[in-house]
Homo-oligomer: A and B are copies of this chain.
Amino acid sequence: MSTDTAPPTDDVAKVPGQPQEPGASPGRSDEKGSSDRSGYVQPVVDVAAITALLDGRYAEIRQTVRDQLVEHAQVLVDAEEMTRSDFRDRVRDVVVEMAATGQTGMGFPTEHGGGGDIGASLAAFETLALGDLSVLVKVGVQFGLFGGAVLQLGTQRHHDRYLADIVSGRLMGCFAMTETGHGSNVQALGTVATYDLATQEFVITSTRPDAWKDYIGNAAAHGEMAVVFAQLVVGGESKGVHALMVPIRVDGEPAPGVKIEDDGLKMGLNGVDNGRLWFDGVRVPREALLNRFADVTPEVLYTSDIDNANKRFFTMLGTLVQGRVCVGGAGINASKVAITIATKYALNRRQFEATSETEEELLLDYGLHQRRLFPLLARTYALHFAQEVVAGQVHDVFTGTLDPDADPDLARRELESRAAGTKALGTWHATRTIQECREACGGAGYLAENRFAALKADTDVFTTFEGDNHVLLQLVAKGLLTAYSSEFEDMDQFGMVLFVAGLAVETVIEKTNVHKLLERIKDVLPGGDDRWDQEAGLLDPDYQLAMYRFREEHTLAGVARRLKRGIDSGMNPGQVFSRVQDHVIAAARAHMERLVLEAFVEKTRAMPDGDDKVALNLLCDLHALSGIEADRAWYMEHGRLSSQRSKAISREIADLCRRIRPIAGDLVDALAVPEAMLRSPEMLGRV
């Protein structure tokens, strides 16, 4: 489609009849530290300082992980050379070795051998994404999903019995939620756990052909236990989906009543042993129920503090939010590898004589190449800082270090929404960035030793697992439309549509807070309420934020209005939803894009004045304006962008790219991807 390309910019036309910015040769780099006639001085970047800014409070654990990745760098080669079976074992061994250093157990309580620091755990995990992604995902399965479920859904009896073995990697396990027939709609699972009053056991049964637990990591080879999600039936009554500890493998063989199949070759992540589990009347003791939110006792049978089954289910799921935060962070960090390789390659590779008759031009001196790579680099920074915010929220919510005035339930619901949205944006960014960077590296990018093969194949499923991205964005939208009401978690699509239809549109908007944020920001812009969108400078972050907030508010109001009209006109809520679905997704995206930009702006605003701040502001401006440019049609349709100003934004983006050009190498170096993780010796001129 023709708009995949950036729109034409008119920079050449700006100063007809006279040379452009003498001293700054267009299309190629200004010298660092030099200044042009406009007074702009090229910043000189302190790479280590920017790395420190990116690493934040978890610099130490991040560096530990980077060092370990270098130590285990051979695994990147093994992924290509070993048989699938050998590589699975190799990955397991690396994971267990890493566990011994403590870095994979940072999120567990110290009394069970963990590090007792959830924030550090998230930072450690996402840094792993600079290396082999089977190792990353195996760590995620073992410590995040399996261990996390035992920690969050279990109680003391489970913690005492299992956690130390899980943290050390002595007990490998599975998170058996998804089934062949149900991934997104977990509440419709076909695995049943029926309580047998006589023996005080649960009987686990896979009831339908599509109820195989599927795509389950650690299932095909290494897992001994599984946290199995099943419809709990007690006294003949269904109590909804609950989780139980179920042994699946004994001495390397499937446990009695358990059938195990191998999912076989996958697009990537072949160091992780994904498989299918089938339960044929497998009996586990009553105590196997992970009973933090609901229990079955000999005395009262079923008991739970949460009466509503839906709410109970979503409360359980909510405790597992870290998995989504981890995957989002992994996507963002995998993107760093790709953008680093592509940028460094473009600083090394020449092709075609362009500005010189005798020497070929560096790829990075082509305007188009800058346009392809720099917005992705800027967005990688933006998402890194947005991820830092959501990871901080996870830390606060789970560590109980929330602001004392905050409503902990509301904070948890907002966190779930933000985690879902950041995961979607971060993983789509990975898919897009890796693809663009591969293409920008030409045929060399196709060779396995240059990393893109694994990056592309391994990250591909990130947009699907831990929640399909579109489903996650619907969750974000539901939160916005219902203002994270306490009924939020209890509502399906039907419920959400009817809930919104019952409100005044103004109510929806007022409750979201976006309106107030927008008003406040418009107050500080020149032109005030009438002309802020015309008079503010394009590089004023308040202007950029106002544009993002306006889009969010307006899109959200539109969704609310359409949902109401649909219901008022007598349509089935499901039909209404189907018709408004793309609008719902657009509202969620607009919201998430605003949060991402805010995170970046807040980060740069807090920096002391100096060259590093100038450099990061270039990236922040490029990110902000690229987002407006990409959606400029919407802004024009909604009267917030004249065609003149729209074109001016495109020109500004080209200017920003030229200013970033001389510091691009430093800005990717600051991402701190270890050289051993880049490989690509020939591409990067290291042979």
| B631 contacts A19, C-beta separation under 8 Å | no
Contact (Cβ within 8 A) A453 B265: yes
* A596-628 to B contact mask, C-beta < 8 Å, 1/0: 000000000000000000000000000000110
- Looking at the assembled complex, report how far the CB atom of A494 sits from the nearest CB atom of chain B, in whole angstroms: 7
A434 CB to closest chain B CB, in angstroms?
10
Is there a chain B Cβ closer than 8 Å to A404's Cβ? Answer: no
- CB of A526 within 8 Å of the partner chain: no
Supposing A568-B17, A569-B18, A643-B638 touch, asked if A214 and B578 sit within 8 A by C-beta, the answer is: no
Residues on the B chain within 8 Å of A183, using CB: 351, 442-443
User: Which residue of B is nearest A453, CB measured?
Assistant: B267
- Assess whether A579 is in contact with B367, with CB atoms less than 8 Å apart: yes
Which of A60-68, A283-291, A458-466, A502-510 binds B?
A458-466
Check: A11 CB closer than 8 A to any chain B CB.
yes
Q: What CA separation (Å) do A118 and B65 show in the bound complex?
A: 58
In the complex, whether A8 has a CB less than 8 A from a CB of chain B is yes
Interface residues of A in 229-276 (CB under 8 A from B): 263-268
Looking at the assembled complex, report how far the CB atom of A524 sits from the nearest CB atom of chain B, in whole angstroms: 24
CB distance A582 to B356 under 8 Å? no
Which one of A20-28, A162-170, A412-420, A483-491 is at the B interface?
A: A20-28
- Which residue of B20, B456, B561, B630 contacts A267 across the interface (Cβ within 8 Å)? B456
How far is B578's CA from A160's CA once the two chains are assembled, in angstroms?
A: 65
> Is A517 an interface residue, CB under 8 A from the partner?
no
Minimum Cβ distance to chain B for residue A187 (Å)? 9
| Residues of A74-114 contacting chain B, CB below 8 A | 80
Interface string of A287-299 (1 = CB under 8 A from B): 0000000000000
Contact present for B637 and A637 (CB under 8 Å): no
Given A265-B453, A586-B7, A631-B1, CB of A494 within 8 Å of CB of B636:
no
Q: Pick from A191-199, A324-332, A358-366, A389-397 the stretch touching chain B.
A: A358-366
Decide if A571 touches B26 in the complex (CB within 8 Å).
yes
A623-648 CB contact bits vs B (8 Å, 1 = yes)?
Answer: 00011001111101111000100110
Contact status B636-A636, CB under 8 Å = yes
Task: Report yes or no: B371 in contact with A582, Cβ–Cβ below 8 A.
Answer: yes
A: interface residue count bin: 35 or more
Across the interface, name the chain B residue whose C-beta is closest to A356.
B574
Contact of A565 with B13 in the complex, beta carbons under 8 Å? yes
A569 touches B460 (CB 8 A): no
Q: How far is the CA of A551 from the CA of B263 in the complex (A)?
A: 49
Q: Is the CB of B2 within 8 A of A579?
A: no
**Distance, CA A390 to CA B3, complexed state (A):** 23
For A448, list chain B residues within 8 Å (CB): 264-267
Q: Within the assembled complex, what's the spacing in Å between the Cα atoms of A263 and B682?
A: 12
With A and B bound together, what is the CA distance between A639 and B642 in angstroms? 11
Task: Evaluate whether A569 and B646 lie within 8 angstroms (CB atoms) in the complex, with A264-B447, A371-B582, A632-B633 already known.
Answer: no
Which chain B residue lies CB-closest to A497? B354
Q: Which of B16, B214, B447, B461 contacts A263 (CB 8 A)?
A: B447
Give the chain B neighbours of A5 by CB distance below 8 A: 582, 585-586, 589
A353-B464 CB under 8 A given contacts A180-B682, A368-B581, A637-B646? no
Point out the residues of chain B lying under 8 angstroms from A435, CB to CB.
431, 435
Q: Is A206 an interface residue (CB 8 A)?
A: no
The docked-state distance in angstroms from the alpha carbon of A13 to that of B188 is: 33
What chain B residues lie within 8 Å of A515 (beta carbons)? none
Q: For residue A461, which residues in chain B have a CB less than 8 angstroms away from its CB?
A: 443, 446
Mask of A465-487 contacts with B, CB within 8 angstroms, 1/0: 10011100000000000000000
Given A443-B214, A578-B365, A593-B2: A583 touches B8 (CB 8 Å cut-off): yes
Given contacts A463-B439, A493-B352, A634-B3, contact A654 B569 (CB under 8 A): no
Tell me, in angstroms, the Cα distance from A461 to B215 when the chains sit together: 28
CB of A498, distance to nearest CB on chain B (Å): 13
- Given A8-B559, A631-B2, the answer on whether A15 and B569 have CB atoms closer than 8 Å is yes
Closest to A454 in B: B267
Residues in B with CB closer than 8 Å to A80 are 264-265
CB atoms of A630 and B2 under 8 A apart? yes
In the assembled complex, the CB of A28 is this many whole angstroms from the nearest CB of chain B, namely: 7
Residues in B whose Cβ lies below 8 Å from that of A361: 574, 578
B637 close to A643 (CB less than 8 A): yes
Does A12 sit within 8 A of B, measured CB to CB? yes
Q: Which residue of chain B has its CB nearest to the CB of A638?
A: B643
> Digit string of A556-591 for contact with B (CB within 8 Å is 1, else 0)?
001101110110111110111111111101100110
**Complex: how many Å from CA A50 to CA B452?**
39
Is A182 an interface position by the 8 A CB rule? yes
Could you tell me if B352 and A8 are in contact, using CB atoms closer than 8 angstroms? Answer: no
A493 and B267 alpha carbons, distance in the complex (Å):
40
- Distance of A140 Cα from B544 Cα, bound (Å): 50
Instruction: List 10 interface pairs A-B (beta carbons < 8 Å), by A numbering.
Output: A3-B630, A8-B583, A12-B562, A13-B565, A18-B570, A183-B443, A263-B447, A356-B574, A366-B578, A367-B578
Known: A25-B575, A27-B578, A354-B493. 13 other contacts (CB 8 A): A5-B585, A7-B634, A8-B582, A20-B569, A264-B448, A266-B453, A353-B493, A354-B494, A367-B579, A445-B464, A633-B646, A636-B636, A637-B643
